[in-house]
Amino acid sequence: MPLRILIIDDHRDYRTWLAQHLGVARPDANVIGHDPSAGELLPPDFDVAQWDLLFVDHRLGAQDGVALIEAIKALPGCPPVVFLAPQGDERAIVRALQAGADDFLSKGASSHEHILRVLRAALHARGRTAAGQAAPATRGEPEPEFRLKGHRMLKSLGRGAAAAVYLMERVNDERLVVAKVFRHVPDSTGQVEPLQRFLREYEVIASIRHPNVVRIFDLGIADDHAFIVMEYFPGGSLAENLGPGLAPARALDWLAQAARALEAIHGVGVLHRDLKPANMMLRADDRLALIDFGVAKLRNSATDLTSLGEIFGTPYYMSPEQGDGAPVDERADIYSLGVVFHEMLTGRKPYIAATPVGVIWKHRHAPRPLLPAGCAPCQLLLDRMMAKRPADRFPSAGALLEAIGVLETGEVRA
């Protein structure tokens, strides 16, 4: 049976645009748009249980979309509801999530990749509910086992093997923040190193004040968990905004912002070691910031959390020396940023193989990737960033920034 998706929005162009994205993602879906300003607030004979997913705008003519969400979520068999939020209005997002919305899209700032992520998450939640499993709690408390004083839980953003991430509202100023929570078992020797890495992440970032580095607000340690509270990024990750490739001028802008972040962290002796689009986030004003310093290394630290020959990072973005488990310096981060730059321009990774080992081998031995003709002015920059030998790369993020500046004011105008 095909998916049934309903978009309730009084802007025809937006309904059409969103329906096109959803149709590309799920060709089997039957996407229906409803204009509440043309008549009734809901379609005639509306039965909430017949839909698999609902999108509801923040303003429906003279009606409040959040009030409609609250009414719909009280109906038996209600599917996931995605709130279409006004851009930059965090308070509206909080109200919608507290009213029961399962997720949200920011109107005007949602890429195709971000829409796909929201769609997949919503349909996954729908599948779990249909299978008789417990649906996520609503009314702003989907994960009641975690409480943080002065904050209100809104929704879970994801969960990995060692940590979970939650969207929360800071009560005193109604600001959206993200809490990264590491669960640990007291006196468990197997969790000593992961906990140390988690705490090192706070140690690394908290001392850095730079517009292109994530802001950290709080750290806490309890008997069975530790947490970091950091800023929320409404623009999502760079990975969600790449698409088939960016215009060179836009790619160079984000590259320069990332290089400025590297200059700041390298300046205090920090190597990131896991640069990738998923760890580069976008604020509402399109500024980029680095996150996830969980495998970062303090260059001159007397102690290190990794052993000689141990490999950390993501193979697709790893420098040859990092893939070999050899010592690394700032130039390894510059190589990884070069891989990200290639993906910005082309929409694809430069080296693909069937196994992680195969990808690592290509970083060491395969020819440097060639850019499309339309990106040719960026080729020399990319070649130097992704040089196989560290000695052939830019010696520092500052030197890279100088080269970017020359290119931005020269041939690249697109």
**253 given a catalytic annotation:** no
Task: Identify the helix (H) or strand (E) that includes residue 289.
Answer: strand 288-290
Q: Which of 102, 103, 274, 333 is the catalytic position? A: 274
Cα angle 18-22-25, degrees, rounded to a multiple of 5: 145
Return the exposure string of 328-355: e unless at least 16 CB atoms fall within 10 Å of the residue's CB, then b: bbbbbbbbbbbbbbbbbbbeebbbeeee
Sign of CA dihedral 242, 248, 254, 255: positive
The C-alpha R_g of the chain, in whole angstroms, comes to 23
d(CA 84, CA 65): 9
Tokens 């990200």: give the residue. 340
Tokens 């070069």: give the residue. 338
Which residues in 44-191 belong to E strands, given as ranges?
53-57, 59-60, 63-64, 81-85, 103-106, 151-159, 163-170, 175-183
DSSP 212: T
Tokens 């190193």: give the residue. 193
- Among 284, 281, 276, 290, smallest CA distance to 208 is for 290
The tokens for 402 are 């100088």
Half-sphere exposure of 104 (CA within 13 A, CB side): 35
- Among 398, 402, 394, 400, smallest CA distance to 267 is for 398
- Among 393, 259, 273, smallest CA distance to 322 is for 273
Which residues are identified as catalytic?
Answer: 274
